[in-house]
Amino acid sequence: MDIVLGIGTLLVVLLAMTLFLNFAPYGKQGLQALSGAACATLLPQAFLSYALGQIFHISLLQDIGDLAGSLSGVAVGILTCLNLGISPVFAVIVGLVLKDFQLLPAFIAAYFISFALKYIERKVPEGLDLIVVILIAPTLTFLIAKLISPGVIAVLHQIGSAVTAVGNNNPYALAVVLGLIIPVTGMTPLSSMVLASLLNLTGTPMAIGAITCMGASFVNFVLFRELKIGGPSKAFAVAIEPLTQIEIIAKYPLQLYGSNAIIGVVNALIVTFSGLVLNAPGMATPIAGPIVLFGFNKPLNIVITLVIVAIVSVILSLIIGKIISRSHLSHINLKPSELKKQVN
């Protein structure tokens, strides 16, 4: 029952984010703001607090990293408003009142208040609009976040607990699911980092997220070269951060998503067997995640696992790339109208 509940809730969250991306007004811009806020707050916390601060016992870096991590509500409030075309001053007014809220409740509040701000900008004369925004936006934003926060956090905690329960009862079953989902999600505006942070993944599931994302970097680099997608600079860019090449990736969904899903499962099983853990949530990212692992595990075990995953990723992606090329499947892509719809 735990397996069904954990996997089911994980898929529901992924489906909800996909529906938001494709059908909600400014859905893509909203998820880009969510992803950007996670990068701007969770990544500094990971590098400065968990990696450098804890490993080298530098309290100053720990304090700075924890400060950055505590401001995710402010970051997502500001970025959401900016991505939806709101004035920077108005965006800051909204973001500041979200200081004490977590990432998702703050995002929801900022997303909805942005439409009210758009209306004010259109209808209220310039100069007077600032006064109206000050009188309305901070209070309304705070109340929305305050109202929805308990329910949202409770649901996320329940999902995280269910996923953790699956990992405790059948870790390899969970590894298969996470190996399929996380590397592929990292190649979409949904962002694997946001998914991992929302679910509050920790322990082995978070280690799977971090290392499968690292493996996906090798996979994408090799496939871009083997399938002659873009030039060397594109291959390097997609290895560092897949989201920078999202429009190119969208042209080759079967080749890139399919390959990453297959190899992601293999890598997830390797990580599960290694016993590595990562107790910093949101680290499903190819560079920061593996580095932060050193704050929670024995270095030799980490290095051995990372080397194995890198080698496996390169070998399997070379094999799959050559199969795709020799089967003349490398140029199968979406029709222009379908591609335009997906990118939009």
Residue-range domain boundaries for the chain:
1-169, 171-344
- In this prediction, residue 185 carries a pLDDT of 85
Comparing CA positions, the residue from 262, 275, 278, 253 lying closest to residue 343 is 253
CA distance linking residue 113 with residue 11, whole number of Å? 28
Which tens digits make up the pLDDT trace of 201-235? 888 999 999 999 999 999 999 999 988 887 888 88
- In this prediction, residue 42 carries a pLDDT of 81
CA distance linking residue 91 with residue 77, whole number of Å? 7
Q: Which segments of the chain have a pLDDT < 50? A: 334-344
- In this prediction, residue 7 carries a pLDDT of 63
Question: Do residues 123 and 134 lie in contact, with contact meaning Cβ atoms separated by under 8 Å?
Answer: no
- In this prediction, residue 237 carries a pLDDT of 87
Cα–Cα–Cα angle for 174, 180, 181, nearest 5°? 90
- In this prediction, residue 5 carries a pLDDT of 65
Q: Per the confidence metrics, is the pTM higher than 0.85?
A: no
- In this prediction, residue 339 carries a pLDDT of 40
Comparing CA positions, the residue from 343, 344, 6 lying closest to residue 173 is 6
- In this prediction, residue 333 carries a pLDDT of 57
Cα–Cα–Cα angle for 189, 283, 37, nearest 5°? 50
CA distance linking residue 239 with residue 284, whole number of Å? 14
Amino acid 41 reads T
